[in-house]
């Protein structure tokens, strides 16, 4: 898998510049992937949504541009550029693009407890 950053070296990538011109749909691009860490850049066109789902990882969602509404256990949260959302593992959530927006998703897989 090709990522924007090489996990074995130092690198810089522009997160505020669109990678693609997205007129409809959702586009994602892996920024960096290592054992226990995955950072993904997403660009949503207005009106796009991800239905309710859960993740086994801890997640941080950072809004870079535009706006969206995150639903966490059915409760809506309007997010704007500069907002950072924390989602513990296993929490049901969904998202709808209230306008075109770009977000950075950081997923952390926590180590298993000793002996498990």
Which domains does the chain carry? 26-108 (2.60.120.10)
24-55: per-residue pLDDT in tens?
Answer: 889 899 999 999 999 999 999 999 999 999 99
Compute the distance between CA of residue 56 and CA of residue 8 in angstroms, rounded to an integer: 25
Q: Using an 8 Å Cβ cutoff, are 64 and 13 in contact?
A: no
SS (H, E, C) 2-14: CCCCCCCCCCCCC
Q: Tell me the whole-structure pTM to 2 decimals.
A: 0.89
SS3 18: coil
* Confidence (pLDDT) at 16: 82
């Amino acid at each position: 898998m090709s990522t924007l950053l090489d996990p074995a070296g130092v690198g810089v990538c522009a997160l505020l510049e669109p990678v693609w011109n997205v007129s409809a749909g959702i586009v994602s691009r892996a920024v960096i992937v290592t054992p226990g860490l995955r950072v993904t850049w997403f660009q949503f066109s207005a009106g796009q949504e991800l239905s309710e789902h859960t993740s086994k990882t801890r997640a941080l969602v950072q809004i870079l541009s535009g706006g969206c509404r995150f639903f966490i256990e059915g409760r809506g949260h309007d997010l704007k550029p500069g907002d950072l959302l924390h989602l513990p593992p296993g929490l049901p959530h969904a998202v709808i693009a209230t306008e075109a927006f770009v977000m950075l998703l950081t997923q952390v897989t926590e180590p298993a407890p000793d002996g498990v």
